[in-house]
Structure 1
Amino acid sequence: MLGQHGRGLSTALFTRPALALARAGVTPNMLTVAGTVLTVGAAVSTLPQGRFLLAPPLLAALLAADSCDGILARATGRTSQFGAFLDSTMDRLADGAIFGSLIVWAALHLADGALRTTTVSLGVVCVVLVAAVPYARARAESIGATASVGIAERTDRLVIIGVAILAVGLGAPAWVLSAGLALVAAASAVTVIQRIVVVRSQALAQERAGAMPGGERA
């Protein structure tokens, strides 16, 4: 998955800038909120209007810089449960802005009724599923399980839709964006299913351990 492979590169690229921000008094939570505000602003000011050449590089830069908050937190020893919660919550807002803006674009600009309906529907499905993927992981952790598996992390989903947006901006037919949304939806659905299966297996193992003589139920 791209997210796993990209973490080392992000750390190498953004550690020095993050430390410079720390010296200026910037906290990880400040970066988290500022990055989300900028990402949401960039999404709603470019995607609904069909600015598909500008949006991908702008959003890619903002989303890459989004890793600075975690790097800053680790480098300064300021990691916290609240910081992790805030980061995850802000990510959901940013993702919702991106996919929601694509829904608005499709509703306003696609002349083909069938394609418009399909694209809007796929966008709605994506909004739901891209939120369900991290929710499944968070809910699993709340019951003592681990659900970090899956074929599509956040980075993978955003790269897929970013490539589709750029392709349409370069002249590809609009259905390419619909295909990108369909791929994001399918990959997200598979990831949710994978996490459900893994958590079910772990929960059953915990229950068996709790039922054994001398065992303790988690």
Structure 2
Amino acid sequence: MLGNHGRGLARAIFTSPAKLLAKVGVTPNMVTVVGTVINMGLAIGLLARGYLALGGILIGITAFADSLDGVLARLTKQTSEFGAFLDSSLDRLADGAIFGSLLYWAISGMAPGGIRTGTIIAGICALVGAGTVPYVRARGESVGVVAKVGIGERTDRLVVALVGAGITDLGAPLVCFPVALSWVAIASFITVGQRIFYVRKHLK
């Protein structure tokens, strides 16, 4: 949902930078790889160490800038199936680093108790969901069905998780963190179910 609304804004913002990068020979795949490395570095270096607000803001900025590779590809007419494959594959690495780092902080940085236990459980489920949602879509495409349906797009899940973590770091009640991760987990599992039923319906 949020991803769809942000694409037009991304094109407006990144067209000029994309033209500059094209002039100096930067390719869309280079942008994809660099963006993933930065996201993973921010997640492991900041989120896992408890800098949830700062990490969330910086990852949010770089995640939005992730649209730059697509803008550059269209501008330079370098769109390709491999580029889409690479982008999707590296997104899984970034997602794993982000949710894995949030889970690590919950385990190592939160005081023992019910909220910590709930956060860990929600974090595990959110991490599993982060990998399963795109996998189900990919498997659907492998049998000829493009299952883009679902209430929990990648952008939605990342925004909710990072905002929940960030506001907790800034002084909001600690329970906001597990609530955010629980929403991500539930939305992920619902999306998996929606996509499975969508594929089943179109394969009958």
- 2:20 matched residue in structure 1: 20
Question: Greater CA deviation, 117-126 or 34-43?
Answer: 117-126
How far the C-alpha of 1:53 sits from its partner, in A, is: 2.4
1:211 corresponds to: none
Alpha-carbon distance between aligned partners in 1 of 2:113 and 2:162, rounded to the nearest angstrom:
24
**8 A Cα contact 2:47 2:56, kept in partner:** no
CA distance in 2, matches of 1:93, 1:149: 22
Instruction: State the alpha-carbon separation in 1 of the partners of residues 9 and 134 from structure 2.
Output: 23
Q: Distance in 2 between matches of 1:4 and 1:29?
A: 22
How much does 1:25 deviate? 0.7
How many Å separate the matches in 2 of 1:158 and 1:174?
18
Q: Which runs of 5+ in 1 are unaligned?
A: 205-218
- 2:153 alignment partner in structure 1: 153
Q: Deviations over 1:173-207 (max 9, x none)?
A: 22211110000001111111111111101000xxx
| 1:64-79 equivalence runs, <5 A | 64-79=64-79
- Cα deviations by residue, 1:7-66 (Å, 9 ceiling, x for unpaired): 111111111111211111100110000000000001111112211221121111110111
Q: Take 1:162 and 1:113, find their aligned partners in 2: how far apart are those partners? A: 22
The answer as to 2:132 corresponding to 1:132 is yes
In the alignment, is residue 11 of structure 1 matched against residue 5 of structure 2?
no
CA distance in 2, matches of 1:15, 1:134: 28
Partner of 1:43: 43
Match of 1:87 in 2: 87
Q: Report the aligned-residue RMSD.
A: 1.0
Counterpart for residue 99 of structure 2: 99
Q: Normalization by structure 1: what TM-score? A: 0.91
Distance in 1 of aligned mates of 2:140 and 2:15: 31
Query: What residue number does 1:176 align with?
Result: 176
Percent identity (aligned): 53
After the TM superposition, list the runs of 4 or more consecutive aligned residues in structure 1 that deviate by more than 6 angstroms: none
Higher relative contact order (CA 8 A, sep 6+): 2
Aligned length: 204
Distance apart, 1:165 and its partner CA: 1.4
- State the Cα distance separating 1:80 from its structure 2 match: 1.1
TM-score, reference length from structure 2 = 0.97
- Return the letter of the residue paired with 1:203: L
Using the TM superposition, name which of 32-41 and 18-27 deviates more.
18-27
- Of structures 1 and 2, the larger Rg is shown by 1
> Structure 2: which 5+ runs fail to align?
none
| 1:170 aligned partner, one-letter code | L
